[in-house]
Amino acid sequence: QRHLISAADLTRDDAVLILDTAEEMARVADRPIKKLPTLRGRTVVNLFFEDSTRTRISFEAAEKRLSADVINFSAKGSSVSKGESLKDTAQTLEAMGVDAVVIRHGASGAPYRLATSGWIDAHVINAGDGTHQHPTQALLDAFTMRRRLVGRDAGIGQDLAGKRITIVGDVLHSRVARSNVDLLHTLGAEVTLVAPPTLLPVGIETWPCEVSYDLDSTLPKSDAVMMLRVQRERMNAAFFPTEREYSRRYGLDGDRMARMPEHAIVMHPGPMVRGMEITAEVADSHRCTVVEQVANGVSIRMAVLYLLLGGNEPAVTAPRTEEK
Binding residues for L-aspartate are 82, 175, 229
In the set 65, 104, 132, 256, the catalytic residue is 104
In the set 21, 43, 55, 186, the catalytic residue is 55
Question: Could you confirm whether 248 is annotated as catalytic?
Answer: no
Distance CA 297, CA 126 (A): 14
Q: How far is the CB of 56 from ligand CP (least distance, A)?
A: 6
The smaller minimum CB distance to ligand CP, of residues 201 and 270, is found at 270
Contact yes or no for 4/102 (Cβ under 8 A) = no
Distance CA 302, CA 22 (A): 7
Q: How far is the CB of 50 from ligand CP (least distance, A)?
A: 8
Q: How far is the CB of 153 from ligand CP (least distance, A)?
A: 27
Q: How far is the CB of 127 from ligand CP (least distance, A)?
A: 7
The smaller minimum CB distance to ligand CP, of residues 56 and 119, is found at 56
3-class secondary structure per residue, the chain: CCCECCHHHCCHHHHHHHHHHHHHHHHHHCCCCCCCCCCCCCEEEEEECCCCCHHHHHHHHHHHHCCCEEEEEECCCCHHHHCCCHHHHHHHHHHCCCCEEEEEECCCCHHHHHHHCCCCCCEEEEEEECCCECHHHHHHHHHHHHHHHHCCCCCCCCCCCCCEEEEECCCCCCHHHHHHHHHHHHCCCEEEEECCHHHCCCCHHHCCCEEECCHHHHHHHCCEEEECCCCHHHCCHHHCCCHHHHHHHHCECHHHHCCCCCCCEEECCCCCCECCCECHHHHCCCCECHHHHHHHHHHHHHHHHHHHHCCCCCCCCCCCCCCC
- Give the gyration radius of the chain's Cα atoms: 20
Q: How far is the CB of 20 from ligand CP (least distance, A)?
A: 23
The smaller minimum CB distance to ligand CP, of residues 157 and 271, is found at 271
The smaller minimum CB distance to ligand CP, of residues 175 and 190, is found at 175
Question: Could you confirm whether 123 is annotated as catalytic?
Answer: no
In the set 12, 35, 54, 221, the catalytic residue is 54
Specify binding-site residues for carbamoyl phosphate. 54-55, 104, 134, 137, 270-271
Question: Could you confirm whether 263 is annotated as catalytic?
Answer: no
In the set 3, 132, 134, 256, the catalytic residue is 134
The smaller minimum CB distance to ligand CP, of residues 229 and 256, is found at 229
Specify binding-site residues. 54-55, 82, 104, 134, 137, 175, 229, 270-271
Q: Which residue is nearest to ligand CP (CB)?
A: 55
Contact yes or no for 119/90 (Cβ under 8 A) = yes
Question: Could you confirm whether 104 is annotated as catalytic?
Answer: yes
Contact yes or no for 230/273 (Cβ under 8 A) = yes
Q: How far is the CB of 212 from ligand CP (least distance, A)?
A: 24
Contacts of 60 (CB under 8 A, 6+ apart): 46, 70, 72
Question: Could you confirm whether 82 is annotated as catalytic?
Answer: yes
The smaller minimum CB distance to ligand CP, of residues 106 and 270, is found at 270
Q: Which residues bind ligand CP (CB under 6 A)?
A: 52-55, 128, 137, 269-271
Known catalytic residues are 54-55, 82, 104, 134
